[in-house]
Structure formats: structure tokens, C-alpha cells
Amino acid sequence: MSLTTGDALIIVDVQNDFCEGGALAVSGGDDVVPVINALSRYCENRHIPVYFSRDWHPSDHVSFKAQGGPWPPHCVQSERGAAFHPDLYIPERAVIVSKGTAPDKDAYSAFEGTDLLHKLREQSILRVFVCGLATDYCVKSTALDALNEGFEVFVITDGMRGVNVQPDDSRHAFEELENKGAFLTTSYEVVES
């Protein structure tokens, strides 16, 4: 199961607004940073592509409550909340993918309205390993889109946390992903195997 040629690591939305003290903080969001840093360094040392997605919203984004959306303003372009967590390690050759950039279009998946799919195809990627924030929204959507595009998908469960608007939302997300064909794994299995 270890990462190898033909694999890519996709790290979803580890941004200030989704971490402790952020506008849309995920409980335990900061806890994923050391796990993800270890994965990023592991990939960097083996020349495995690493992609970081980020919400990069205009100030009048459709997902914000003022525009009738469900969320408070978050990850507004160039503001502190949109920055990656300060302790997040971003390899020099990592690719950053910005999503949710159009005011009138929401985008939970890192594939939606971005060139991520094109970049993965360009590098002949067959398997993707997904982690980040939040399990029950953007991570789930990204993993489902990867499955729909024919990738083999591994969800790194200790490298993510959920919003859990309902207490079981993350568990349901894992069940849905497994039912659709994703494999649940941990960073230990990925790195040590």
C-alpha cells in the first residue's frame, strides 16, 4: 500500500479558517498537521507528487450566509483565514490548487473548477491518497470525484477531521466512500508498508 510511482498525495484545505480559532474551525483540525507533514516529507523524499487544495473564495461567495449559503465567511482570498496552517509543511515542488474562486459557484471537491484532473493525467497518476479538512465535506467530495474519474482512492483516516454538523457525519462519509470503492487506511500503513 505504500506510495510509489503512479501515486499522488492530495491534501485538502488545511487552512487557518478550518483550524483552531478559524471562522469555520473543525474540532481537532490542528491535529492533522503533524500527520500530513510526515506524509508530505515521505512523498517529497520519493519524488511522489503532492497537491494541496485550498478554498480561495471572493468576499461575496455564494456559500456565505449573506448570499444565502450555509456557512459564515471563510477562506476569503488573500486574508489570513485563507492561508495554509502556519505549521503545514509544503514541499517546494508541491502544486497548489485553488477552488471556489468564482463568486457564484460552490466547490467542495478539489477537482471542481480546477485543473487538478488534467495535472494528474499529465503525470500518469493511477492512485490518489487523500487527507485534510474536512472529512464530511471537501475531503469526501474530492475522494468521490477521484473515484468517478477512475482513480484508485485511498483515504488516510488519521490525516483528516470532520465538521460533524450531525455527530455521525464523518462515520457516514467513511461508509459512503468505502461503498463507492475507496480504501480506508492510515498514515502508518502508507508510510511503513
Task: Identify whether 71 is part of a domain.
Answer: no
Task: Identify whether 70 is part of a domain.
Answer: no
Check: CB of residue 66 under 8 Å from CB of residue 74.
Answer: no
Task: Identify whether 150 is part of a domain.
Answer: yes
Number of domains present in the structure of the chain: 1
Task: Identify whether 68 is part of a domain.
Answer: no
Check: CB of residue 69 under 8 Å from CB of residue 61.
Answer: yes
Residue 173, domain CATH: 3.40.50.850
The enclosing H or E element of 183 equals strand 183-185
Query: What's the pLDDT score for residue 122?
Result: 97
Task: Identify whether 117 is part of a domain.
Answer: yes
Check: CB of residue 99 under 8 Å from CB of residue 109.
Answer: yes
Query: What's the pLDDT score for residue 129?
Result: 98
Q: Average pLDDT of 110-135?
A: 98
Task: Identify whether 63 is part of a domain.
Answer: no
Check: CB of residue 11 under 8 Å from CB of residue 36.
Answer: yes
**What is the model's pTM?**
0.97
Cell of 153: 482512492
User: Nearest 10 degrees: CA dihedral of 24, 26, 30, 35?
Assistant: -130
User: Where in the sequence numbering do the catalytic residues fall?
Assistant: 13, 99, 138
pLDDT digits (tens, 9 = 90+) for 126-185: 999 999 999 999 999 999 999 999 999 999 999 999 999 899 999 999 999 999 999 999
pLDDT digits (tens, 9 = 90+) for 142-154: 999 999 999 999 9
Query: What's the pLDDT score for residue 193?
Result: 59
**Distance between CA atoms of 171 and 152, rounded to whole angstroms?**
21
Task: Identify whether 25 is part of a domain.
Answer: yes
Check: CB of residue 139 under 8 Å from CB of residue 147.
Answer: no
Task: Identify whether 90 is part of a domain.
Answer: yes
Q: Which residue has the cell 507533514?
A: 37
User: Which residues sit opposite 95 in a β-bridge?
Assistant: 51
Query: What's the pLDDT score for residue 70?
Result: 93
Please report the sign of the dihedral spanned by the C-alpha atoms of residue 111, residue 114, residue 116, residue 117: positive
Instruction: Using the predicted structure, report yes or no on whether residue 25 has a pLDDT greater than 70.
Output: yes
* Burial class (CB within 10 angstroms; exposed 0-12, middle 13-18, buried 19+) of 90: middle
Task: Check whether the bond before 134 is cis (ω within 30° of 0).
Answer: yes
Separation in Å, CA 167 to CA 108, 162, 173: 20, 10, 12
pLDDT digits (tens, 9 = 90+) for 36-94: 999 999 999 999 999 999 999 999 999 999 999 999 999 999 999 999 999 999 999 99
Domain residue limits at 177: 7-54+84-97+106-192
Query: What's the pLDDT score for residue 144?
Result: 98
Question: Which of helix, strand or coil describes residue 132?
Answer: strand
